[in-house]
Structure 1
Amino acid sequence: MRRQSETLLLLPLLPIFLLGMFPMLLIGLLGFFGLIIFGILIVCVGLTLGLEAHSEFNEEIIVHGYARASERATQVSHLHAATRSAAVLEVVGLALAIAGTAGFVCFG
């Protein structure tokens, strides 16, 4: 019976490693200041996500006009889902920035 290589098991984990490499290097090389920068970047992503959701909602209303109640409910549901996920990203980013600031003040 032929034995399979264990390196093929690591191949699906490669994208996760490559995506996680940037924040780890940022935090490792810059310390608490890197944590603050990473938090600010996550807040920016959250704000962008929220603005894009509102923009798509407004564009849908402007282009297609006043929709039926079922279509309007679907549009509002998508808007609320995107707004909630944007708010979560903003809170996480603020928490990282606050943690970085506290670490810099206490240990820097």
Structure 2
Amino acid sequence: MRRQSETLLLVPLLPIFLIGMFPMFLIGLLGFFGLALFGVLVICVGLASSNEAHDNFNHDVIVHGYARGSERATQASNMHTATRLALRLEAVGAAMVIAAAIGLVYPG
């Protein structure tokens, strides 16, 4: 039997590595300022996600009118789920900015 190459196991991990390179280089090259910058970017992603969730809900209400109760409840549930995820992203981003500020203030 022919043995498969181990490099084929690494192919699915390549996109994760490529996406993860940017924050690691940013933090590695810029230090705490890079961490703060990355935290601000995460906060922006959270705000954009929240705005997109509300936009989708409003679009459904405006274009299709008020739906039946079950459909409206599903749409509202989807909006609340996306908003909760966005809130978590904003909290993580704020924690990163606070950690960077503490790192900049207390050298050592």
Note the residue ranges of structure 1 that are not aligned, 5 or more in a row.
none
Give the distance between the partners of 1:98 and 1:28, measured in 2 at CA. 18
Q: Helix, strand or coil: the match of 1:107?
A: coil
SS at match of 1:4: coil
For the aligned residue pairs, the C-alpha RMSD in angstroms reads 1.1
The share of aligned pairs that are identical, in percent, is: 68
SS in 2 for 1:76: helix
Q: C-alpha offsets along residues 9-31 of structure 1, whole Å, 9 cap, x if unaligned? A: 11111111001000000000000
Matched residue of 2:106: which SS? helix
- Relative to the length of structure 2, the TM-score reads 0.95
Distance, in Å, in 1 between the alignment partners of 2:18 and 2:88 is: 24
> Which residue is 1:63 aligned to?
63
Mapping 1:1-108, distance limit 5 Å: 1-107=1-107
3-state DSSP of counterpart to 1:24:
helix
CA-CA distance at 1:4 after TM superposition = 2.4
Size of the aligned set, in residue pairs, is: 108
Moved over 6 A (4+): none
Q: TM-score, normalised by structure 1?
A: 0.95
The alignment partner of 1:3 has SS state of coil
Structure 2 spans left out of the alignment, 5+ residues: none
